[in-house]
């Protein structure tokens, strides 16, 4: 009868040691099928325990850094277009990101015209059916209400194809498709659209309040939309 009681302290110690261990994490932008920008000093960032050493490896190059304030960032250097490759991040745990390409990365942002899905565009269904392209990758940022900028989202990169393109921006897709053919390099598209949103909500509060002519307090449209988002102006 006493044996379970003797094992209890060991179990408690092991349990809390497991809970206290925080794995190295990456934002959703770093996922399988991603595209990294060619020709620039590539940044990779994430979260880890204070002082934890993080090692990032890509195409035979490895960079190490220690986390500060629970965050870390490394610069991997410049790379030429190509792939697929693997991006590996190691700390107390190991993250392996597969099917990574290097090429052109574009942010596609706007309102309703940009938000219009390929499936609803003129002859869009036909283009969806022939949209398979392993050299074209898509990342769709979901809509989220927030009073402050967020450092992560719930999304992932996907290869272009009939399963990923129907709800993706038609304008962004056609742009990326033609750009990939013209440059003959991988292309990654990050869609972040919100139909009907005024320009003010795409700016920081600090920028708006620094100019009385465009302050959210003085702009009825911006104020109304921000209230719909749950913001107080």
Query: Rounded to whole angstroms, how far apart are CA atoms 90 and 25?
Result: 10
Task: State the pTM of this model.
Answer: 0.82
- The fraction of the chain above a pLDDT of 70, given in percent, is 82
End-to-end CA, the chain: 64
Provide DSSP, 127-147: HHHT--EEEEEEEEPPP---S
Q: In the beta sheet, which residues pair with residue 169?
A: 117
Tokens of 92: 């107390």
Tokens of 174: 């056609």
pLDDT, mean of each 10-residue run, the chain (233 residues): 44 43 91 98 98 98 97 98 98 98 97 96 97 98 86 97 98 98 98 90 82 59 50 41
Instruction: Report DSSP state, residue 72.
Output: E
């Amino acid at each position: 009868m006493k044996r379970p009681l003797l094992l209890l302290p060991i179990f408690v110690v092991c349990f809390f040691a497991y809970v206290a261990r925080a794995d190295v994490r990456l934002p959703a932008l770093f996922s399988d099928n991603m595209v990294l920008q060619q020709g620039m000093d590539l940044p990779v960032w994430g979260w880890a325990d204070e002082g934890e050493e993080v090692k990032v490896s890509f195409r035979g190059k490895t960079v190490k850094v220690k986390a500060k304030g629970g965050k870390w960032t490394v610069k991997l250097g410049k790379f030429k277009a190509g792939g697929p490759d693997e991006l590996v991040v190691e700390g107390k745990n190991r993250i392996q990101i597969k099917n990574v390409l290097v090429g052109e990365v574009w942010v596609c942002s706007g309102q309703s015209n940009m938000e219009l899905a390929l499936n609803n565009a003129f002859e869009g269904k036909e283009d969806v059916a022939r949209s398979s392209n392993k050299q074209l990758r898509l990342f769709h940022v979901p809509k989220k209400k927030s009073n402050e900028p967020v450092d992560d989202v719930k999304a992932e990169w996907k290869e272009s194809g009939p399963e990923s393109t129907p709800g993706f921006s038609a304008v962004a897709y056609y742009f990326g498709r033609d750009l990939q053919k013209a440059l003959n390099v991988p292309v990654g598209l990050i869609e972040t659209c919100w139909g009907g949103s005024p320009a003010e909500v795409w700016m920081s509060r600090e920028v708006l309040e620094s100019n009385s002519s465009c302050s959210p307090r003085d702009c009825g449209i911006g104020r109304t939309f921000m209230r719909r988002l749950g913001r107080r102006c």
